Amino acid sequence: MRGFLLNRLSQSLVLLLIVSVIGFVVLNLIPGGPLAQFGLDPSMTQDDLNRLKEQLGLNRPLWLQYLDWAWRLVQGDWGHSFRDGTPVLDVIGRHLVATLLLMGSSTVIAIAIGTWIGIRGATHRYSVFDYLATVGAMVALSIPTFWFGLVGIYVFSLRLGWLPAGNMYTIGDGSVLNHIHHLILPSIVLALVHVAIWSRYMRTATLDVISQDFVKTARAKGLSERRILMKHVVGNALLPMITLAGMQLPSVLTGALVTETVFTWPGMGRLFLDSLGYSDYPVVMGLLMFSAILVVLCNLIADIVVAIIDPRIRLS
């Protein structure tokens, strides 16, 4: 087990290093560089820009800038926002809860509904339900998230008036029920695509388990189909889904970026787009690294959980 953990940890560190190098180089090669926003200020002279470059250390070779940035990152200094000088970690912290709330609720919805659809589709193979679930999954995967969001706002907010069109809560009403009311529509929109993915994988995993010899043996012993399903099939089919949950996190983050923009949700996705528009590179790099760490950490946890549950993976 120790060797397995060390192997996964070393792979994660290498991945984070690669992500940091690529992100840092790409952002610095964008026309205008980190000081692009300052160059739009008509009161800024070339001497002012040169002085600012020297103060920020941007006149040094790129590799030296990266080493300095990476060393400060390891020490906990993620830099300061170009917009107002606020520490990057404080900026991210103000938007983290909103994103985790949206991602968490949509993931729970996707897992619950996708698991049920996948299991029912596998146990009722080639039925009307199975065909409808397949067509629905293809439609959900083919249509972009922002389209679902706009349709949801038009139908449930503008036409029916059941749900709010955006924001995290109503100004002047910070109650839990008000937060939940605002959370319903964006979390469902974000979950739609992942319900389709989860249901397809769950159907395949369930069909694979059903065809195993131990399930045939259980049937030969006279066990009911319901008991076979609940005791032998579902648990084994869910095992690869734990890994899938970790692998789906980048997709959830990407979807959250679009969903937060459509619903003006004050999360990290919206912060990322705003920071890109303002050329606030310290915040952009901070969000990139924070997201990468979050993805790597969740995948690492998923691998550890699978290894604990399934000794075949741990011993291999």
Written in H, E and C, the secondary structure of the chain is CHHHHHHHHHHHHHHHHHHHHHHHHHHHHCCCHHHHHHHCCCCCCHHHHHHHHHHHCCCCCHHHHHHHHHHHHHCCCCCECCCCCCEHHHHHHHHHHHHHHHHHHHHHHHHHHHHHHHHHHHHCCCCHHHHHHHHHHHHHHHCCHHHHHHHHHHHHHHHCCCCCCCCCCECCECCHHHHHHHHHHHHHHHHHHHHHHHHHHHHHHHHHHHCCHHHHHHHHCCCCHHHHHHHHHHHHHHHHHHHHHHHCHHHHHHHHHHHHHHCCCCCHHHHHHHHHHHCCHHHHHHHHHHHHHHHHHHHHHHHHHHHHHCHHHHHC
Please state the domain extents for the chain.
2-48+56-74, 94-277
CA 249 – CA 296 distance, rounded (Å): 9
**What is the reported pTM?**
0.81
Q: For the domain 94-277, what is the CATH code?
A: 1.10.3720.10
Mean pLDDT of the region 217-236 = 83
List pLDDT tens digits, range 166-176.
888 887 777 88
Query: Which pLDDT belongs to residue 312?
Result: 62
List pLDDT tens digits, range 87-145.
999 999 999 888 889 988 998 899 899 999 999 999 888 899 999 999 999 988 888 88
